[in-house]
Amino acid sequence: MAHKEKYNPSRFWKHLTDFPYIWICVSVLAVAAIIAFFGHWTVAKWLGAGAVVFFVILLLAKPMNAVYGLMGTSGSIRLFFLNFLFISLVFSGIYFLAFFKDAGITYDVNQPHIDYHMFVKESVICPDRVVEHRDSMVLEHQFDSTSYKETVIHVTLDTLHYQRISFGQVWRSTILTTLTQEPADLFTVATVHNNAMGSSDITLDKQKSSLFEWLLLLHIIISWIFFGVFISLLYNRFRYES
């Protein structure tokens, strides 16, 4: 009967000292999310962008350091699932604190819309927004040998109901994105910016949707690495134990 190796805390710290770069990147993202939570978006934006650039450089310069930093070197499937849950929890926390804490989403339009600044005031429960749509139509009239054109503008008013985005929604969407390696529906909407929706802070919405898309790309790259390592672990386990 094989002897079961006991867990040694020193191995964890040795792992961090051997492969620190990926966790530095994740830590910077977490700090940026906390800073954004307290309202300092400009500082958080630059920290988040810097972390994304650092991760890209790390993948190009030391790709295996990034892989081992995420997965460890023991080849343990148990450790793999723990890392999977931990990374998913970290990303869901980053997404919620930096992007969705004050955000509202409406499904009253063909393409759902997110306003990242909707619930800044705690007194707001379920706000409504009236959006004006203008459709122009050119009409041509003919009287005997004379013709003229006129432009008719049709105005419609739509009332949009926004609702909060909970941490549970973000957590489920993060897990789904990691498993499928494709953005969940909520995250797809979050990367789309629409000036015509009359957001309360258009500049903020545009910046957040752009940075969110970059973080989502980083998240999907990491989930792609997880998937590849998982296939390799299963292959080696079946190969040597069957």
How does DSSP classify residue 7? P
Residue 154 vs residue 231, higher pLDDT: 231
Element housing 203 (H / E) = helix 202-241
pLDDT digits 0-9 by tens, 94-120 = 999 999 998 888 887 778 888 888 887
pLDDT digits 0-9 by tens, 1-50 = 444 445 455 666 666 677 788 888 888 999 999 999 988 899 999 999 99
In whole angstroms, give the CA distance from residue 28 to residue 48: 7
CB atoms within 10 A of CB 152: 9
- Torsional class of 241: left (φ above 0), alpha (ψ -120 to 50), beta (otherwise): alpha
Question: Residues near 213 by Cβ (< 8 Å), separated by ≥ 6?
Answer: 191
Residue type, 212: F
CA atoms within 13 A on the CB side of 122: 0
